[in-house]
């Protein structure tokens, strides 16, 4: 059994013959697709941004999640009849003969009370520099397990956060792509929220 925390991107690439690519049309479509943001949502996002600006350099990981990331996910509202947002639930599987397991900070999966098939994996880190561990690798490891639980050609979505910076990911087959950073202390907070709302639209369109 190998835990997600033991991986680096280098180790994942070598172990599973993965290849990082600069762009992917599915990722680009996800990042650029439109989604309406109401005036109420804009007010909430601006309020959260002001709180983040004041505290992002001081909060620990749990405080960042409680005071900023959690409210963002709450107002996107990934809870539904066919899928839900789960936190710190065990995700395990066998990838190319290797047993892997971990607890992503969040994942969106089918199921009402227990996660069944995951479609989106999320990891957060407080520090923007010199953080312990590799959040991109931890997310990608979780996404590989999620891939084994889905149909072979299903794209798996992911995201990790380092302090104020959000990075979105996509895994398809043996190739993965990581976006440029989106800063949540700038106007890009609206892009982050829009991208998460588009993800919800995509999940609603799946026959889960």
Closest CA to 138 of 47, 63, 61: 61
Share of the chain above pLDDT 70, in %: 95
CA distance 15 to 107: 24
Q: Which domain holds residue 79?
A: 2-205
In degrees and rounded to multiples of 5, residue 42 shows phi and psi of -60, -40
Decide: residue 89, CB within 10 A, 0-12 exposed, 13-18 middle, 19+ buried: middle
pLDDT at 130: 52
Instruction: Give the model confidence (pLDDT) of 73-106 as tens digits.
Output: 999 999 888 899 999 999 999 999 999 999 999 9
Instruction: Give the model confidence (pLDDT) of 149-194 as tens digits.
Output: 998 789 999 999 999 999 999 999 999 999 999 999 999 999 999 9
Number of domains composing the chain:
1
pLDDT reading at 141 higher than 80: yes
């Amino acid at each position: 059994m190998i835990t997600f925390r033991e991986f680096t991107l280098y180790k994942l690439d070598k172990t599973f013959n993965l290849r990082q690519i600069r762009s992917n049309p599915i990722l680009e479509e996800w990042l650029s697709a439109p989604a309406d943001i109401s005036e109420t949502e804009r007010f909430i996002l601006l309020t959260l941004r002001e709180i983040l600006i004041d505290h992002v350099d001081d909060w620990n990981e749990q405080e960042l999640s409680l005071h900023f990331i959690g409210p963002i996910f709450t107002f996107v509202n990934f809870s539904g009849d066919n899928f839900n947002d789960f936190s710190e639930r065990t995700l395990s599987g066998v990838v190319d003969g290797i047993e892997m397991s971990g607890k992503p900070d969040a994942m969106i999966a089918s199921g009402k009370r227990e996660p069944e098939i995951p479609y989106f994996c999320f990891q957060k880190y407080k520090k923007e520099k010199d953080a312990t561990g590799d959040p991109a690798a931890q997310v990608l490891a979780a996404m590989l397990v999620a891939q084994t639980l889905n149909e072979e050609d299903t794209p798996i979505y992911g995201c990790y956060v380092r302090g104020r910076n959000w990075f979105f990911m996509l895994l398809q087959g043996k190739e993965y792509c990581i976006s440029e950073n989106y800063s949540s202390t700038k106007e890009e907070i609206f892009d982050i929220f829009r991208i998460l709302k588009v993800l919800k639209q995509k999940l609603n369109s799946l026959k889960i």
